[in-house]
Amino acid sequence: MAPEFERELGRRQWENVAFYPSPANIAMVKEFYTNAKGFGNNHESYNSYVRGKRIPYDADTINSFLGSEWIGEQCQFVLAMDEDINYAEVEQTLCMPGGRFQRNRNDTPIHIRRTYLTPLAKYLMAFTHANIQPCSHVSNITTNRAAFLFYVLRGLNINLGQVIADEIKHCAHSVSNKAPLGHPSLITHLCDWNTYASTLAFRGSQESATTGSAGAGLGCCTIPDERHIQLRMVDEEEEEDDEDEDEEDDSDDSRG
């Protein structure tokens, strides 16, 4: 089933979802989620702030970072979730013969045990729980997450950036303080990515002002494909002063 799983990721351009070059910065992730809560009154706002810099996490930003193209069409997954889910079809698509949803006393579907899933559904469950819809429960899959797998296997187009952005927003505004902070690696690299872009844009504007060439260097705002290799390596010698200032800010924050 691994080749079939890989083909599905390739068809959807999701190969980069699980690939990050370095570990998550937990302090940065915590600051991101703390500041993201401040935008709770605006449902359309997908922004946070880390070390004074605005960090957007809207669908377009995430899709651009992951290399997942999405061109102006509606997400069939989002549209389908607004309708009633056909749980019988979900069971037939995801489960081995005899597999089914576990239900409560009101006969409402709750989850499917992992042991009931087909091999391909197990691959997708592990992948989505780790990278798209974070979840610590590995023994079963809830109805909404099962529906996501169902729509993936049915071939519906899915705006991955929107799904992840909504997951991050939901996590940021979760009532429980014990809720795990989802997508830590993605958030860390979005912060690095935006810092890198801001640095290049600033240098480009300086060069433009110095040379008198309108717009010189502004193209540097586009992050090259090498972002997976050298997000943090932007003229290390010239950035040493900025790093020292960041360390001082961090020590002040920890004392606060």
pLDDT tens digits for range 36-84:
886 555 555 899 999 999 999 999 999 998 888 787 678 888 888 888 8
Given 106, 126, 158, the domain boundary residue is: 158
Is 94's pLDDT higher than 90?
A: yes
Domain count of the fold of the chain? 2
Same domain (yes/no): 34, 96: no
Higher-pLDDT residue of 186, 247: 186
134 inside domain: yes
pLDDT tens digits for range 124-148:
999 999 899 988 778 999 999 999 9
Same domain (yes/no): 193, 226: yes
State the pTM of this model: 0.71
196-211 in b/e burial notation, b at 16+ Cβ within 10 A?
Answer: beebbeeebeeeeeee
Contacts 24+ apart (CB under 8 A), 45-53: 46/165, 46/168, 46/169, 48/172, 50/191, 51/246, 51/249, 53/191, 53/194, 53/195, 53/198
**DSSP SS3 for 58:** coil
**CA 146 from centroid of its chain's CA atoms:** 19
Distance CA 119, CA 116 (A): 9
At residue 135, the pLDDT reads 84
41 inside domain: yes
Domain holding 248, by residue range, is 1-55+179-256
Same domain (yes/no): 78, 146: yes
Token pair 């798209």 is at which residue?
A: 132
Same domain (yes/no): 195, 247: yes
Give the pLDDT band of residue 238 (cuts 50, 70, 90).
Answer: very low
At residue 41, the pLDDT reads 53
Give the pLDDT band of residue 197 (cuts 50, 70, 90).
Answer: low
Tokens of 61: 């930003």
* Contact yes or no for 182/90 (Cβ under 8 A): no
Higher-pLDDT residue of 207, 9: 9
Same domain (yes/no): 189, 217: yes
93-107 in b/e burial notation, b at 16+ Cβ within 10 A?
Answer: bbbeeebebeeeeee
